[in-house]
Amino acid sequence: MPMFPSDTWIKVFMEALNNNPAYADVAKNWEGDMCFQIEVPGAPEPTRLYLDLWHGKCRAAYQIADPQHKPAAFKLSAPLENFARVLRGELDPIQAMVTGKLKVEGNMLVIMKNIPTVLEFVRTARQVATELPPGA
């Protein structure tokens, strides 16, 4: 079971997205890469996970080692606890973005016009067998 957040987890998630026909259908018009910036307690800097999302497929997914990595169209930043709550189904992703529990950089209007895509993206993430660090 891959640990979130990690390079292994994001690659398993990419595979899950690419094998999900429901995601492929609702995200067929989605154009925009994404970066998760996760503040892990005790870590010297955030963990960054990158996804290249294009028309219902994830073309690449990896952990970003270089903080100067090219900016993504969308960046979601939050403490690990908030990401974990979304993954466990305890926090609605749209509500988290609107209330700032997941800080969004990028065009929020695009996200709001694509709520079915966002929700299927999160449903797929929740289906990945995930190990969370203690206290997450």
Average pLDDT over residues 16-39: 97
pLDDT of residue 53: 98
Residue from 30, 31, 68, 32 nearest 48 by CA: 68
Ordered by where they begin, the domains of the chain are 7-127 (3.30.1050.10)
CA distances, 107 to each of 12, 75, 84, 111, 130 (Å): 27, 10, 24, 7, 29
Average pLDDT over residues 26-40: 96
Residue 107's identity, in one-letter code, is N
Going by DSSP bridges, is the β-strand pair 47-54/103-105 parallel, antiparallel, or unpaired? unpaired
**113: Cβ–Cβ under 8 A, 6 or more apart, which residues?**
none
Note the Cα 84 to chain centre separation in Å.
Answer: 11
Query: In the structure, what pLDDT confidence band is assigned to residue 69 with cuts at 50, 70 and 90?
Result: confident
Encode pLDDT of 86-114 as tens digits.
999 999 999 999 999 999 999 999 999 99
Alpha carbon separation from 72 to 17, 22, 53, 81, 92 (Å, rounded): 18, 24, 10, 23, 23
Look at 11-15, 52-56, 132-136 and tell me which has the smallest mean pLDDT: 132-136
pLDDT in the model for residue 66: 85
Token pair of 80, please?
Answer: 């690990």
Q: Report pTM.
A: 0.95
In this predicted structure, what is the pLDDT of residue 125? 98
**In this predicted structure, what is the pLDDT of residue 68?**
79
